[in-house]
Chain A
Amino acid sequence: MPISPDIETPMLHGQELQSQKKREEWVLLGLSLPAIFVIALVVILPVGWLFYLSFVDGHGNFSLEHYQKMVEYKSYARVFITTFKVSALTTLICIVLGYPIAYFLAALPSRWSGIFMLAVLLPFWTSLLVRTYAWLVLLQSKGLLNDLAIQIGLWDSPVKLVHNMTGTLIGMAHIMLPFLVLPLYGAMKKIEPDMMQAASNLGASPVRAFFSIYLPLSVSGLVAGALIVFVLCLGFYVTPAVLGGGRVVMVATQITAILEHQFDWGAASALGVVLLLATVLVLYLAGRFFKFDTALFGKR
């Protein structure tokens, strides 16, 4: 048979290949089904249940009483304000402390950064409760810090460092710091050293090069870390309870009080729902300033 231009040739096996591609797509979907199922089971169902409970009164009827109560008593609004204030301040402290730490770690040669990274991560291996009580021992009016300060004459009578907002912020910042440092360190490690050389070569002073180049390039890690810290802080219970001295009432504290002393799932659920929605709102607003996909997945 003479070789002639055959229009059918490019489509040879076309149908077969197409159907095989379809089959592969179905298989892939099938493989991810268990994961989708687990997510539905452990995330979507409970959150749905939470919503449902918050709209049901003690007799099982639909009711808005839990939400009405949150308007009626000022404590709820205050608790939300406190929660967001504590979370924002903790995040701010973590940024101020964590940025230089991450910078230092990223600048060190790798064998040294490993050792210092260990020091940053060490708190992760200690129970949260132990760390919180350790701060209590350090900060209370007859604690180590006050004793030392009085002994060397920094101040005359004990300064109130704990059982208040100050103590809460110190404890929470300590616990949250690694969550900020880790993603930030990752982002900084990805900045090639020749970026800073290039900036300097083009005439930027070290300070200018930092603000024009290094900071913008590390900001994705910073935002990711800050988000993690902020969101984790919103649900904090132990540390404000122990170090706040009952003065720093956060949403988790209020939920516990309602559950422990009133057995009122509906009211507690309503608080949970409002916290969830408020968090989503804050993240959405923050998302309008930063590109989250950039922050969280490092892709532009």
Chain B
Amino acid sequence: MNNSTALPISIRGLTKKYGDLNALNSVDLEIKSSEFLTLLGPSGSGKTTLLMAIAGFNRPDAGSIKFGDAEMVLTPPHKRDVGMVFQSYALFPHMTVSENIGFPLKLRGLAAKEVMGRVDEALATVQLSGLGDRAIDQLSGGQRQRVALARAFVFRPRILLMDEPLSALDKKLREHMQIELKQIHRQLGVTTVYVTHDQREALTMSDRIAVINHGELAQVDTPEAIYNRPKDQFVADFIGESTMLSLTRGGDGRLSFGSEIISSSSPNPSVSKWSLVVRPERLHLLEGDVNTSEKQVVFRGHVKEYVFQGETAFALIALDDVTILSVRFGTGAGSRIQLLEPGALVSVGLMREDIILIPQEGQT
């Protein structure tokens, strides 16, 4: 079922205002053909507004949305030929599962027999074979989610949109569905725009993530890049856990934390104030007297709090009176977590490759 007609989406200067509020502020975004792109942001960031604009449910104040070469901004939603999975699923309660899935096919004038075949095929794809005659209110939450998905792709749309489709499911089912959605996407090959506020979900599923905040795109990149090289404090903060350490700049441009030199030069000389982003799991416990070296930066502090959480252990380490570092270690043999006695003085190391520097807020 590989979709040869998958289309790229090109968004230019898209602007939408609600009163004084800038829901979207001149957004530019290129989504590649067959790509799985996630719009990630906190609530009110504009991610749903952007998705609705692509679907055609709200009309932007300015800008352009192209599917392939075709300008869509003035096209009514029912002529856009995009599939969509709604947050509430929006399944039609007066229709059976098959009628729901067959609805877009009937609208496209397919013969009853062909509709039946395509519906069965879609049901098989979402692993609901045999449930076609069920009423919607006889389905579990997970089953409804699958029906909504089947209905969204059954008519082979060129673009698939999903608005927080997994938010109503419990954690276990959600994690299972993330993988399944990913597989189905790969199978269909359709350009997919996915909206979520769950950074973990975004990291799990996406080819690329567009982090959006206050109606503007903060960073658009692969999950690895977003996680390892956040461009600013918002992205670093929003994606994953982290501790921000304020750095001081020496006269020669060196950036240091206390006595430890973090970087010999500033990545961008025009920015004066930098922060070091420390991911808790990138730290490792050191035994004995190890000092900062070419390979790693070493922090020393007292264990304030220690929590064993199964596959990992979590601790807070006070470096000085005001700075507290979050750390996370594996719990296997050799992890040295036995050193994490509350009050004990410990050393933790950060490999130079794991150093993330970002300009402080208000700096560019």
How far apart are B158's CB and chain A's nearest CB, in angstroms?
Answer: 13
In the bound complex, residues from chain B placing their C-beta under 8 Å from that of A205 are 78
Q: Does B104 contact A (CB under 8 A)?
A: yes
In the bound complex, residues from chain A placing their C-beta under 8 Å from that of B79 are 203
Q: Does A201 contact B (CB under 8 A)?
A: yes
Q: Does A197 contact B (CB under 8 A)?
A: yes
Asked whether, in the complex, the Cβ of A213 is within 8 Å of the Cβ of B92, the reply is: yes
- Interchain CA distance A202-B55 in the complex, whole Å: 11
Which of B82-90, B126-134, B281-289, B313-321 has 4 or more CB atoms under 8 Å from chain A?
B82-90
B76, B91, B135, B151: which contacts A300 (Cβ < 8 A)?
Answer: B135
CB 8 Å contact bits of B49-86 with A (1 = contact, 0 = none):
00000011100000000000000000011111111101
Please indicate which of the listed interface residues A201, A203, A216 has the most CB atoms of chain B within 10 Å of its own CB. Answer: A201
> Which residue of B has the minimal Cβ distance to A217?
B94
Asked whether, in the complex, the Cβ of B88 is within 8 Å of the Cβ of A202, the reply is: no
In the bound complex, residues from chain A placing their C-beta under 8 Å from that of B104 are 202-203
CB 8 Å contact bits of B126-147 with A (1 = contact, 0 = none):
0000000001010000000000
> Which residue of A has the minimal Cβ distance to B161?
A201
> Which residue of A has the minimal Cβ distance to B104?
A202
How far apart are A123's CB and chain B's nearest CB, in angstroms?
Answer: 32
Q: Which of A173-210 contact B (CB under 8 A)?
A: 192, 194-195, 197-206, 208-209
How far apart are A218's CB and chain B's nearest CB, in angstroms?
Answer: 10
- Interchain CA distance A212-B82 in the complex, whole Å: 19
A197, A199, A203, A204: which contacts B81 (Cβ < 8 A)?
Answer: A203
In the bound complex, residues from chain B placing their C-beta under 8 Å from that of A300 are 93, 135, 137
Asked whether, in the complex, the Cβ of B108 is within 8 Å of the Cβ of A194, the reply is: no
Q: Does B155 contact A (CB under 8 A)?
A: yes
Pair count A-B, CB < 8 A: 66
Q: Which of A68-101 contact B (CB under 8 A)?
A: none
Known contacts: A203-B78, A208-B107, A300-B135. The answer to whether A216 contacts B94 by CB under 8 A is: yes
> Which residue of B has the minimal Cβ distance to A196?
B90
Interface size of B as a range? 20 to 34
In the bound complex, residues from chain A placing their C-beta under 8 Å from that of B135 are 300
How far apart are B108's CB and chain A's nearest CB, in angstroms?
Answer: 6
Q: Does B103 contact A (CB under 8 A)?
A: yes
Asked whether, in the complex, the Cβ of B94 is within 8 Å of the Cβ of A197, the reply is: no
Asked whether, in the complex, the Cβ of A217 is within 8 Å of the Cβ of B84, the reply is: no
CB 8 Å contact bits of B260-279 with A (1 = contact, 0 = none):
00000000000000000000
In the bound complex, residues from chain B placing their C-beta under 8 Å from that of A206 are 78
CB 8 Å contact bits of B89-115 with A (1 = contact, 0 = none):
011111000000001100110000000
- Interchain CA distance A216-B100 in the complex, whole Å: 14
- Interchain CA distance A300-B94 in the complex, whole Å: 9
> Which residue of A has the minimal Cβ distance to B136?
A300
> Which residue of A has the minimal Cβ distance to B101?
A202
Known contacts: A205-B78, A212-B103. The answer to whether A197 contacts B151 by CB under 8 A is: no
Known contacts: A197-B57, A212-B103. The answer to whether A204 contacts B78 by CB under 8 A is: yes
- Interchain CA distance A209-B87 in the complex, whole Å: 20
> Which residue of B has the minimal Cβ distance to A206?
B78
Please indicate which of the listed interface residues A195, A200, A300 has the most CB atoms of chain B within 10 Å of its own CB. Answer: A200
- Interchain CA distance A182-B56 in the complex, whole Å: 32
In the bound complex, residues from chain A placing their C-beta under 8 Å from that of B87 are 194
In the bound complex, residues from chain A placing their C-beta under 8 Å from that of B88 are 192, 194
Asked whether, in the complex, the Cβ of A201 is within 8 Å of the Cβ of B55, the reply is: yes
How far apart are A189's CB and chain B's nearest CB, in angstroms?
Answer: 15
B77, B80, B103: which contacts A197 (Cβ < 8 A)?
Answer: B77
Asked whether, in the complex, the Cβ of A197 is within 8 Å of the Cβ of B86, the reply is: yes
Asked whether, in the complex, the Cβ of B93 is within 8 Å of the Cβ of A200, the reply is: no
Asked whether, in the complex, the Cβ of A195 is within 8 Å of the Cβ of B107, the reply is: no
CB 8 Å contact bits of A241-255 with B (1 = contact, 0 = none):
000000000000000
Asked whether, in the complex, the Cβ of A202 is within 8 Å of the Cβ of B93, the reply is: no
How far apart are B16's CB and chain A's nearest CB, in angstroms?
Answer: 17
- Interchain CA distance A31-B301 in the complex, whole Å: 69
How far apart are B93's CB and chain A's nearest CB, in angstroms?
Answer: 7
A195, A202, A213: which contacts B155 (Cβ < 8 A)?
Answer: A202
Please indicate which of the listed interface residues A200, A202, A209, A213 has the most CB atoms of chain B within 10 Å of its own CB. Answer: A202
CB 8 Å contact bits of B201-242 with A (1 = contact, 0 = none):
000000000000000000000000000000000000000000
A195, A201, A216: which contacts B84 (Cβ < 8 A)?
Answer: A201
In the bound complex, residues from chain B placing their C-beta under 8 Å from that of A195 are 90, 92
Asked whether, in the complex, the Cβ of A198 is within 8 Å of the Cβ of B90, the reply is: yes
B56, B76, B86, B155: which contacts A198 (Cβ < 8 A)?
Answer: B86
Asked whether, in the complex, the Cβ of A203 is within 8 Å of the Cβ of B108, the reply is: yes
- The 27 sampled A-B contact pairs (Cβ below 8 Å) are A194-B87, A194-B88, A197-B55, A197-B57, A197-B84, A198-B84, A199-B92, A200-B77, A200-B78, A201-B55, A201-B57, A201-B77, A201-B84, A202-B78, A202-B103, A202-B104, A202-B107, A203-B78, A203-B108, A204-B78, A204-B107, A206-B78, A209-B78, A216-B94, A217-B94, A300-B135, A300-B137
Closest 9 CB pairs of A and B: A198-B90, A202-B104, A194-B90, A203-B107, A200-B77, A200-B78, A201-B84, A216-B94, A194-B86
- Using CB atoms and an 8 Å cutoff, list the residues of chain A in contact with chain B: 192, 194-195, 197-206, 208-209, 212-213, 216-217, 300
- Using CB atoms and an 8 Å cutoff, list the residues of chain B in contact with chain A: 55-57, 76-84, 86-88, 90-94, 103-104, 107-108, 135, 137, 151, 155
Known: A195-B92, A198-B92, A300-B93. 19 other contacts (CB 8 A): A194-B86, A194-B90, A197-B57, A197-B77, A197-B86, A198-B84, A199-B103, A201-B80, A202-B78, A202-B103, A202-B104, A203-B104, A204-B103, A212-B103, A213-B92, A216-B94, A217-B93, A217-B94, A300-B137
